[in-house]
Amino acid sequence: MMRRIPLIPALIAGSAAVLFAACLLGSTPMPPSRVLTALFGTAAAGDVTIVWSIRLPRALAAWLVGASLGVSGAALQGLLRNPLAEPGILGVSATASLLAAVAIYYGFAAAAVWIMPVAAIAGALIATALITLLAIRVQSVVTLILVGVALSSFAGAAMSLLLNLAPNPFSLADMINWMLGSVANRSFDDIALALPFMVSGAAVLMLTRRGLSALTVGEEAAAGLGLDLQRQRIAVVVGAGLATGAAVSLAGAIGFVGIIAPHLVRPWVRSDPARVLLPSALLGGIMLVLADIGVRLAPTSSELKLGVVAALVGAPAFAWIAAQRRGAS
């Protein structure tokens, strides 16, 4: 029986397993014993550097980005009552990427390491603030989605404009790297900058979970049940904005994790939007660490970008989920 398997402990164990596997694999294969000594004991300086400075922070960054996108997607799907929603749908990812690209374009990013991440988070917060202001004024979720689409398109157009006008090939390459999405060369310092936003965003989303359950019966019925609709909308948008902005600041634009993880989890939790949140975060983390291991092991001359691989796998899955929907409006 599916429900007999304790889902959350299994996903936590899975997360630990893939993070450990990510430390084993790479251009210098290391046996488990060497990785364990490097992690917890005294090992050769080279091993410690490989594990602590290169592989573990990279894997952890992938996991955190996947988890943030997974929980944001699950919460947005609950709010919008639509399994195709994801952080990208509200234009949050796109606006975050845009501001990061602006920071690169004008050379701010070169001034200090923290400027680009902060720009990305600022972009996400601008997008969420816009959406939040709108959520207070309009009743319709469809309107909210359409504004998100418009915001995405606008950010995409502005991004193309920046690429078009890029002053030199170096900033062009930087911006393209950002748009493709990657966790290569991330350090614990990068993680420390993004983590507080991810954690606070996820915490806000966890607080909304009862309201997400109520929304199963529809917005008006949920309001009748005693849900404060405006507050629920604002909390989900702010929580998803913080978590998504931080994810973009760490890895650039990576799509589809926020759609696929909740979709896979849903049948295991009786389709209750409240119970989808935590497992979606864990599974999103696992998926992105696995994808990043794939990126690192792929025998290509120039490195594959994580966001490209995520999209290559994610887009067909997205189409499949969309095609499977029946009846729902």
Partner 1 sequence: MTELRVRDLHVEADGVTLVDHVGFQVRSGEIAVLIGPNGAGKSMALRGALGLVPAMGSVEIDGDPVSKMSAAERARRIAYLPQSGPMAWPARVRDVVALGRFAYGASPSRISGEDWQAVETALGECQLTDLADRRVDTLSGGETARMHCARAFCARTPLLIADEPVAALDPAQAFRIMDLLKTKAEAGLGVLVVLHDITLAARYADRMILMSEGRILADGPTVGVLTPDALAELYGIAAEVKGREIRLTGVLTEPVA
DSSP one-letter code for 235: H
Token pair for 133: 């202001």
Smallest distance, partner 1 to C-beta of residue 82, A: 8
| Residue 263 near residue 48 (C-beta atoms within 8 A) | no
Quick one: 77 or 171, whose CB is closer to partner 1?
77
Q: Which residues contact 194 (CB under 8 A, 6 or more apart)?
A: 64, 117, 121, 246, 247, 249, 250
| Residue 247 near residue 199 (C-beta atoms within 8 A) | no
| Segments in 183-272 forming alpha helices (H) | 188-207, 209-214, 219-225, 229-251, 257-265
Q: How far is CA 175 from the centre of its chain?
A: 19
Smallest distance, partner 1 to C-beta of residue 285, A: 22
Smallest distance, partner 1 to C-beta of residue 199, A: 22
- In angstroms, the CA 75 to CA 146 distance is 18
Pick from 55, 266, 296, 305: which binds partner 1 (CB under 8 A)?
266
Quick one: 3 or 32, whose CB is closer to partner 1?
3
**Three-state helix/strand/coil letters over 305-320:** CHHHHHHHHHHHHHHH
DSSP one-letter code for 303: P
User: Maximum CA pair distance of the chain?
Assistant: 64
Pick from 1, 2, 45, 328: which binds partner 1 (CB under 8 A)?
328
Token pair for 3: 């429900």
Quick one: 7 or 163, whose CB is closer to partner 1?
7
Quick one: 279 or 307, whose CB is closer to partner 1?
279
Residue 29 sits in the site that holds partner 1 (CB under 8 A): no
Q: Count CB-CB contacts under 10 A for residue 300.
A: 8
Quick one: 97 or 213, whose CB is closer to partner 1?
213
**Residue in the structure block whose two tokens are 């993070």:** 19
Stretch that binds partner 1, among 92-100, 151-159, 192-200, 205-213 (CB under 8 A): 205-213
Quick one: 189 or 220, whose CB is closer to partner 1?
220
Residue 141 sits in the site that holds partner 1 (CB under 8 A): no
Which x/- pattern over 206-245 shows residues binding partner 1 (rule: CB under 8 A)? ---xx--xxxxxx-xx-xxxxxx-----------------
Which x/- pattern over 57-86 shows residues binding partner 1 (rule: CB under 8 A)? ---------------------x--xx----
SS3 state at 86: coil
Burial 228-240 (b: 16+ CB within 10 A, else e): ebeebbbbbbbbb
Smallest distance, partner 1 to C-beta of residue 217, A: 6
Quick one: 80 or 96, whose CB is closer to partner 1?
80
Quick one: 300 or 329, whose CB is closer to partner 1?
329
Smallest distance, partner 1 to C-beta of residue 286, A: 22
Token pair for 132: 């939040």
Quick one: 74 or 121, whose CB is closer to partner 1?
74
Residue 329 sits in the site that holds partner 1 (CB under 8 A): yes
Residue 173 sits in the site that holds partner 1 (CB under 8 A): no
Smallest distance, partner 1 to C-beta of residue 224, A: 3
Residue type, 245: G
- In angstroms, the CA 96 to CA 246 distance is 9
Pick from 275, 291, 293, 314: which binds partner 1 (CB under 8 A)?
275
| C-alpha distances in Å from residue 147, one per residue of 131, 132, 150, 164, 188 | 8, 11, 5, 25, 36
**Which positions lie near partner 1, rule CB under 8 A?**
78, 81-82, 209-210, 213-218, 220-221, 223-228, 266, 270-275, 327-329
